[in-house]
Structure 1
């Protein structure tokens, strides 16, 4: 069982799940077509989360659609002992177990997929058909069995470890400044790296958003800004995977000093890099060879920074670390500005281009946890001081 990527001549990309004989598996691929608005990487992830489901079904001789449409359904033991264990296994090493977040994602995707099959089967029968009631019952039972296995997770400090502290941000900016030191062999490369990293750090761009920016998306003048736009697939873009704006478009203001560096990069250094290629490109961030910068090259830049700034940036420093840093820094700044929790979530969603306020909770909860821990340490210090002075207050 494997996932392949199909590219349409117009530029649209769609992953497909194949069986052991290399033939498409109809139901998962049809289900995915209904989610074709998602990014190809997200679609591939969804299919990968269905692979354990179909591996379990194949090893037990189970036809999922036939079981549902025929009304036989599944026993609780099949789901809770068989399927659940299959979803816990690591796809590369069956002796290992996946983390709780991956397991929960698999549960959610498989649950949504089985609900979709149930809906398809219900649509094939008349409303008064007894099989319809049985299919609805199967859907409810499977939903209960799967949702009961969701693993609760505390506020994570793991994501926080990816974010840079204020001192680390300052060290990174100083190191990358092309007039001080910079990263790269030429001034043009140093300027490119500085602009790319600063846009992610100071605007919270995802890697796909940064690499999808075009020169025309930058506005200079009295109020400089950058416009994150949703565009149709670019058939001329040969990068794999192709960068893409996955969330909401937005226009973000730019600090005049940052805008000056971007302007200098566009007018001088980007032109120097483009001279290395026979083809012109509208994309803002280009490689040393004058082509649109790829995602793998962006990661390579972060790996170089890890080596150059060893100890001054987190060990797992990556493009996503910069977005984490932006989100946590903005959460603190919004709280200092006096915004309540709901308004902070709304502001973060607008700045990050998210459609869901729930996705901001992790940053708000982490900030609340840090304040709670700070208060706890002060409380402990007060009591220890009283004890040390033989003035126990209880």
Structure 2
């Protein structure tokens, strides 16, 4: 059985994601699981897609070992230990076309998926099989205990993962000289600009500038509308628009975090106005919606809001401009914004508590999330470093004085 994940947009604008068979029919229990356990908690579509990708891997395991868990559970039979071990081993395998819409054969590539990927797969599958067993086994204490043991055994077979990153979040940043070079290469009319069409050059340069100076996420950038920019007060709003009817994109970019307002330099506001009035307005179809960044290339998507894949091509352009820019991506610009913001707060001698509040607002985080605190830890690290150097200087300075006495 070949399965695929499909995103659909309903008439009221709601985005849905389902696991379907080769005839395009949704699989009943995965659809029920998503509806009851995931959409009810208002989880993001990308989270649901990751869960369904794990279930695709589980169905591949079933097909490979000729196991039908629904039939087994209907007969009051749970998975045996050796079957859970085979599930564990199978979840290490990459699936052919895993990043594509269709699946389901096992990849012939050597190697295995990351421990994090395997851990995520096993976590979803454990939860799903517990849900499935609850629906098929009779309601009894013994059944409940058996299901709990099976779920616990699946989870206990997840790989050990470390929550320690080799590079801490607050230390991830780009080089300002690299970003300046990219900005110069993307300048409209620049001889080193890899894009030929001038309007697209203007759009790309504007997107890069906004990402650099605001730290917006990709989804927040693509979700911007012209009306979000107040050209009188030089401000820009980040607005949540889940399941927008006016957005034609099935993979709708959304603001993931809280709404907020950014002050903009008049020069940047003028650049946005220039793009809208001199370039965007001339593209057929652009007037049918209010999204700021659009597709300029001729074809059926011309004038539509810029898609995630279109944004991916823009990132590809950034990587092609300079050899040393191969590691750049949208989130690296967000990390760099936070690094630069930390330096500004340090120069202004802002207390860490105040810095954390400001950062949380500008990034759209809850003040209690702890995310801002991860970046604020750089203060502690730098203070510790200065203290160590002072101690070393005191010791070595005394040794030098004694040596010259």
TM value normalised by structure 1? 0.77
In the alignment, the residues of structure 2 paired with residue 361 and residue 105 of structure 1 have an alpha-carbon distance, to the nearest angstrom, of 26
Choose which of 87, 90, 101 in structure 1 pairs with 2:116: 101
Q: Secondary structure at the match of 1:155?
A: coil
In the alignment, the residues of structure 2 paired with residue 26 and residue 262 of structure 1 have an alpha-carbon distance, to the nearest angstrom, of 47
Aligned position for 1:316: 327
Is the 8 Å Cα contact of residues 189 and 288 (structure 1) preserved in structure 2? yes
Alignment of 1:118-197 (within 5 A): 120=135, 125=139, 129-143=141-155, 145-146=156-157, 149-157=159-167, 163-178=173-188, 183=193, 184-185=195-196, 188-197=199-208
Compared CA separation, residues 168 and 159, structure 1 to 2 (3 A):
farther
Question: 1:213 offset after TM fit, Å?
Answer: 0.9
Question: 1:91 offset after TM fit, Å?
Answer: 1.3
Aligned position for 2:212: 201
Compared CA separation, residues 347 and 113, structure 1 to 2 (3 A):
farther
The answer to which of 355-364 and 229-238 deviates more is 355-364
Choose which of 86, 90, 99 in structure 1 pairs with 2:90: 86
Q: Secondary structure at the match of 2:236?
A: strand
Does residue 216 (structure 1) correspond to residue 227 (structure 2)? The answer is yes
Question: 1:217 offset after TM fit, Å?
Answer: 0.7
Please report the RMSD computed on the Cα atoms of aligned residues, expressed in angstroms.
4.1
Compared CA separation, residues 66 and 97, structure 1 to 2 (3 A):
same
Question: 1:364 offset after TM fit, Å?
Answer: 5.6
In the alignment, the residues of structure 2 paired with residue 176 and residue 249 of structure 1 have an alpha-carbon distance, to the nearest angstrom, of 29
Does residue 260 (structure 1) correspond to residue 270 (structure 2)? The answer is yes
Question: 1:231 offset after TM fit, Å?
Answer: 2.0
In the alignment, the residues of structure 2 paired with residue 64 and residue 72 of structure 1 have an alpha-carbon distance, to the nearest angstrom, of 9
Aligned position for 1:286: 294
Compared CA separation, residues 238 and 158, structure 1 to 2 (3 A):
farther
Compared CA separation, residues 140 and 9, structure 1 to 2 (3 A):
closer
Q: Secondary structure at the match of 2:143?
A: helix
Aligned position for 1:15: 17
In the alignment, the residues of structure 2 paired with residue 332 and residue 120 of structure 1 have an alpha-carbon distance, to the nearest angstrom, of 55
In the alignment, the residues of structure 1 paired with residue 80 and residue 157 of structure 2 have an alpha-carbon distance, to the nearest angstrom, of 13
The answer to which of 18-27 and 295-304 deviates more is 18-27
In the alignment, the residues of structure 2 paired with residue 198 and residue 263 of structure 1 have an alpha-carbon distance, to the nearest angstrom, of 14
Output one character per residue of 1:101-122: Cα deviation in whole Å (capped at 9) or x when no partner.
3223223322333344455568
Aligned position for 1:227: 237
Choose which of 47, 53, 61 in structure 2 pairs with 1:48: 53
Aligned position for 2:101: none
Consecutive unaligned residues of structure 1, counting only runs of 5 or more, are: none
In the alignment, the residues of structure 1 paired with residue 3 and residue 32 of structure 2 have an alpha-carbon distance, to the nearest angstrom, of 16
Is the 8 Å Cα contact of residues 15 and 250 (structure 2) preserved in structure 1? no
Question: 1:215 offset after TM fit, Å?
Answer: 0.7
In the alignment, the residues of structure 2 paired with residue 357 and residue 55 of structure 1 have an alpha-carbon distance, to the nearest angstrom, of 37
Q: How many residues align?
A: 377
Question: 1:30 offset after TM fit, Å?
Answer: 1.4
Output one character per residue of 1:334-375: Cα deviation in whole Å (capped at 9) or x when no partner.
56644448x76665443333458255576567x489759967
In the alignment, the residues of structure 2 paired with residue 51 and residue 161 of structure 1 have an alpha-carbon distance, to the nearest angstrom, of 36
Is the 8 Å Cα contact of residues 219 and 225 (structure 1) preserved in structure 2? yes
In the alignment, the residues of structure 2 paired with residue 203 and residue 135 of structure 1 have an alpha-carbon distance, to the nearest angstrom, of 48
Question: 1:315 offset after TM fit, Å?
Answer: 0.9
Compared CA separation, residues 50 and 4, structure 1 to 2 (3 A):
closer
TM value normalised by structure 2? 0.75
Compared CA separation, residues 275 and 152, structure 1 to 2 (3 A):
same
Compared CA separation, residues 18 and 203, structure 1 to 2 (3 A):
same
Question: 1:196 offset after TM fit, Å?
Answer: 1.1
